[in-house]
Amino acid sequence: MNLQDYEKIKAKSLILFDKANIILTEEEKKDLEVADFGLNKIEDTGLQLITYVNTDLVCAKELALLPYQTCPEHKHPKRDFDDGKEETFRCRYGTVYLYVEGEETKNRRMNPPQGDEEYYTAFNEIILQPGEQYTIYPNTLHWFKSGSEGAVVSEFSTRSTDDSDLFTDPRIKRILELK
């Protein structure tokens, strides 16, 4: 991702945080992380996030999704120090379409990004509106996508170690490479 695109995505994400009435410090705004997952199609597959705290026990983040942006399918496997990350998503703005392992929802509202369908296998649909939340247990395949307004999600979890996340798509690179 080039610096100009990075700054554009960052600005769009900050507007979403404002719409959700999420108050951020200047330092948090500066440290906003943009993840394009190495696919170079950030508007379709990506995630913007701010990490408030990440200790040995707990983590709290704000996630911003642009309209129809997808965070790709992944799971949080067993780690040396626990059974894997457990996370609760609480929708703050927009609509979040969360897909987890389980019985496939018939007539689901959203689909994986076009051309990447082979990398998505979890289709049990949970729809989150502002104020609603859902807990994802360790080692559960999941992915999520925003609706037409974009979305903001607060994530509360056990310790986050993004480098240990297992993505279904082998092309995924979790750390952003700016060009």
Domain assignment present for 174: no
170: helix, strand or coil:
coil
Asked if residue 98 belongs to a domain, the reply is yes
Phi, psi of 10 (to 5 degrees): -60, -45
- Looking at residue 179, its pLDDT comes to 74
Closest CA to 63 of 94, 85, 86: 94
Flag whether 95 is in a domain.
Answer: yes
How sure is the predictor about 20, in pLDDT bands with cuts at 50, 70 and 90? very high
Does 60 reside within a domain?
yes
> Does 147 reside within a domain?
yes
pLDDT at 2 > cutoff 90: no
Alpha helices in 37-138 (DSSP H): none
Q: What is the mean pLDDT of the chain?
A: 96
Query: What phi, psi does 137 have (nearest 5°)?
Result: -85, 160
What are the tens digits of pLDDT across the range 47-62?
A: 999 999 999 999 999 9
142 pairs with which residues across the strands? 74, 100
pLDDT, tens digit, for every residue of 32-44? Answer: 999 999 999 999 9
Evaluate whether residue 107 is within a structural domain. Answer: yes
Beta strands in the chain (DSSP E): 33-35, 47-54, 58-65, 70-75, 87-100, 124-128, 133-136, 142-158, 166-167
Q: Does the pLDDT value for residue 73 go beyond 80?
A: yes
Domain that holds residue 79: 3-167
Extract the tokens encoding 69.
Answer: 């942006």
Angle at the Cα of 176 from the Cα atoms of 141 and 130, rounded to 5 degrees: 50
Cα separation, 162 vs 160, whole angstroms:
6
CATH number of domain containing 118? 2.60.120.10
The fraction of the chain above a pLDDT of 70, given in percent, is 100
- Give a yes or no: residue 143 inside a domain: yes
Start-to-end CA span in the chain (Å): 6
Residue 113 belongs to some domain of the structure = yes
User: Cβ distance 22 to 130 under 8 Å?
Assistant: no
Number of domains present in the structure of the chain:
1
For 87-129, write each residue's pLDDT tens digit. 999 999 999 999 999 999 999 999 999 999 999 999 999 999 9
